[in-house]
Structure 1
Amino acid sequence: MIASAALAVSGATLLGSPAQAATPDPRPLAVGATWLTGQLVNGVLGGTCDQYTCGVTLDAGSALIEAGAPASVVNGIGSGFDAVAKGYFQPGDITTTGSYSAGATAKTLAFGQSLGTPKTTFDGVDLVARLKSLVSVAPNIAGRIEDKAVVGGNPDPSGDYANVVGQAFAAAALFTDNPASAEAISVRDFLLTQQCDDGFFRLFYKSDENFAPDKTGPQDCQSGVAAGQSAPDEDTTSTVIRLLLPQRATPAVGGAITDAKNWLIAQQRADGSFGGGQFNPDSNTNSTGVAGWALGELGALGDTAAAAAAAKAAVWVRQHQADEVTGCANQLTGATGAIGLNDGAVTTARANGITGPAAAQWQRATAGSLASLQYAPAKVGTYKVDDNASGYAKAGSTVKYTVSGVAPGEKVCVSGIGAARRVVAGPSGSVVVPVVLPAGTANRVLTTRVQSGSSAAVQTDVLGARTLGVVAPAKVKRGKKVTVTVRGLKPAERVRVTYKGVKVRAGIANPNGVFVARFPVGRKVGKAAVRAYGQFADIRKGSDVLRVVR
Structure 2
Amino acid sequence: MHQHLARRTGALLAVTALGAAGLVASPGAATAAPVPGADPAPTTAAAGWLAGQLEGGLLTYTSGGFETTDVGLSIDTALALREVGGQDAAVTAVRDAVAAGLDGYISGDAFGDPGSTYSGAAGKALVLATATGGDPEAFGGTDLVARVESVTDDATGRTADVSQYGDYANTLGQSFAARGLAAAGSPEAAAATDFLLDQQCEAGFFRQAFSDADAADQTCDGTDGAVPSVDATATAVLNLLARDDAADEAIADAVDRAAAWLASAQRPGGAFGADDQIETPNANSTGLAGWALGLAGNAEPAERAAAWLRAHQLTNVGACTPFRAADVGAVAYDDGALAGARKDGVTTGTEGQYLRATAQALPALQWAPDRGMYGVVEIDRTRTVRAGKKVRVQFLDFGPGSKVCIALGKQRRLSDVGFTGLASVDLTMPRGTAKRTVTATAEDGSTLRRTYQVLDATRLKVTAKKQRVARGAVQVVKVRGLTAREPVRVLVAGRTVDTGQANAKGRFTARFKAAGSGRTTVAVQGRFGNRKGTATYRVTR
User: How far apart in 2 are the matches of 1:47 and 1:280?
Assistant: 23
Count of residues in correspondence between the two structures: 502
- 1:539 paired residue among 520, 524, 530: 530
How far apart, CA to CA, are the structure 2 residues paired with 1:21 and 1:110?
Answer: 25
- Seq. identity, %: 37
Q: TM-score, normalised by structure 1?
A: 0.85
SS at match of 2:321: coil
Q: CA 1:440–1:69 in 2, change beyond 3 Å: closer, same or farther?
A: same
The within-5 A match list for 1:502-517 is: 502-517=495-510
Equivalent in 179, 190, 197 of residue 202 of structure 2: 197
Mapped pair 1:144 → 2:142 = no
Change (3 A) 1:93 1:369: farther
Counterpart in 2 of 1:209?
Answer: none
- Say whether the 8 Å CA contact 1:385–1:457 is kept in structure 2: no
Distance 1:426 1:333, change over 3 A: farther
Q: Which residue of 1 aligns with 2:227?
A: 231
Show CA shifts across 1:274-328 (max 9, x none). Answer: 11112321111111111111112122xxxxxx02222222222122222312311
Write out per-residue CA displacement over residues 368-404 of structure 1, whole angstroms, 9 at most, x where no aligned residue.
1111122223348999896612352122333332223
2:173 aligns with 166
Q: Is the 8 A contact 2:413 2:425 kept in 1?
A: no
Partner of 1:15: none
CA gap of 1:403–1:119, structure 2 versus 1, over 3 A, is: farther
Paired residue type of 2:424: V
Provide Cα deviations, 1:89-132, integer angstroms capped at 9, x if missing partner.
Answer: 21369843122211111111111110034444444332211111
User: Per-residue displacement from partner, 1:317-372 (whole Å, max 9, x unpaired)?
Assistant: 12222231231123333323222112221221122221211111111111111111
In the alignment, is the contact (CA less than 8 A) between 1:289 and 1:314 conserved in 2? yes
Q: Are residues 132 and 21 of structure 1, via their aligned partners in 2, closer, same or farther at CA, if it must alter by over 3 Å?
A: closer
Pair 1:137–1:421, CA change in 2 (3 A): same
Which SS does the other structure have where 1:516 is aligned? Answer: strand
Report the equivalent of 1:353.
345
The 2-side partners of 1:332 and 1:521 are apart by 69
- State whether structure 2 residue 273 is matched by structure 1 residue 275: yes
TM, length-normalised to structure 2: 0.86
Contact 2:113 2:163 in 1 (8 A): no
Distance of aligned partners of 1:52 and 1:143 in 2 relative to their CA distance in 1, 3 Å threshold: farther
Q: Is the 8 A contact 2:35 2:366 kept in 1?
A: no
Query: 2:48 pairs with 15, 34, 57, which one?
Result: 34
> Distance in 2 between the 1:423 and 1:195 partners?
41
Deviation at 1:417, TM superposition (A): 4.2
Say if 2:520 is the partner of 1:521: no
Structure 2 CA distance for aligned equivalents of residues 95 and 487 of structure 1: 92
The answer to whether the 8 Å contact 2:313/2:332 transfers is yes
Q: Decide which moves more: 371-380 or 455-464.
A: 371-380
Cα 1:345–1:381 change in 2 (3 A) is closer
Match of 2:131 in 1: 114
CA distance in 2, matches of 1:353, 1:368: 20
Structure 2 stretches of 5 or more lacking a match?
A: 1-33
Matches within 5 A, 1:49-60: 53-60=70-77
* Conserved 8 A contact 1:470-1:487: yes
Is the 8 Å Cα contact of residues 61 and 348 (structure 2) preserved in structure 1? no
Question: Retained in 2: the 8 A contact 1:468–1:486?
Answer: yes
| 1:86 CA displacement | 2.4
* The one of 475, 486, 499 aligned to 2:479: 486
* Higher RCO structure (Cα 8 Å, ≥6 apart): 1
Q: Is the 8 A contact 1:383 1:456 kept in 2?
A: no
CA distance in 2, matches of 1:262, 1:381: 23
Q: Residues 116 and 69 (structure 1 numbering): CA distance in 2 closer, same or farther, change over 3 Å?
A: farther
Distance 1:99 1:52 in 2: 20
Instruction: Give, in angstroms, the shift of residue 502 of structure 1.
Output: 0.9
Contact 2:58 2:69 survives alignment (8 Å): no
Q: Please say which of residues 347-356 and 57-66 is displaced more in the overlay.
A: 347-356
Amino acid at match of 2:47: A
Contact kept? 1:385, 1:456, Cα under 8 Å: no
Q: Report what 2:107 is aligned to.
A: 90
The amino acid that maps onto 1:389 is R
Name the residue aligned to 2:221: 222
d(CA) in 1 for partners of 2:303, 2:325: 25
Distance 1:201 1:54 in 2: 25
Give 2:249's aligned residue.
Answer: 251
Q: Deviations over 1:152-187 (max 9, x none)?
A: xxxxxxx111111111111111111126x2x21111
